[in-house]
Amino acid sequence: QVQLVESGGGLVQAGGSLRLSCAASGSIFYINAMGWYRQAPGKQRELVATITDGGSASYADSVKGRFTISRDNAKNTVYLQMNSLKPEDSAVYYCNAALWPTAREYYSVSPQDYWGQGTQVTVSS
């Protein structure tokens, strides 16, 4: 069984910073891409940033230049450093990992998506 556990959310004033962490644990053979998504009330979940196993990152236009995604492959952990936060960044942030739980699956199927439980980020104006 695979678990993704996020931490680091909270309340911050506009212009402030937060750092989110997400650790994957359990039956994991190999993690492909990892990423962060967010969902604000009444809105669809949207991609914030992703990072490949090789470290290539991509970002939503709305966060470019303010957020930085990184990962520690040895710890199966992905981070999201969020600077210059704005009230419109307020949302529940979800961690995602595309991974293979076993070697057998690695050689036979596409990676499976796993999600964390979400962590609330609130930015006050």
Q: What is the pLDDT of residue 20?
A: 98
pLDDT in tens, 57-103: 999 999 999 999 999 999 999 999 999 999 999 999 999 999 999 99
Q: What is the pLDDT of residue 33?
A: 97
**Can you list the alpha helix ranges (DSSP code H) found in 1-125?**
103-106
Q: What is the pLDDT of residue 17?
A: 98
Q: What is the pLDDT of residue 47?
A: 98
pLDDT in tens, 21-44: 999 999 999 999 999 999 999 999
Write out the two tokens for 73.
């492959």
Q: What is the pLDDT of residue 35?
A: 98
Cα 104 to Cα 43, 64, 65, distances in angstroms: 38, 37, 39
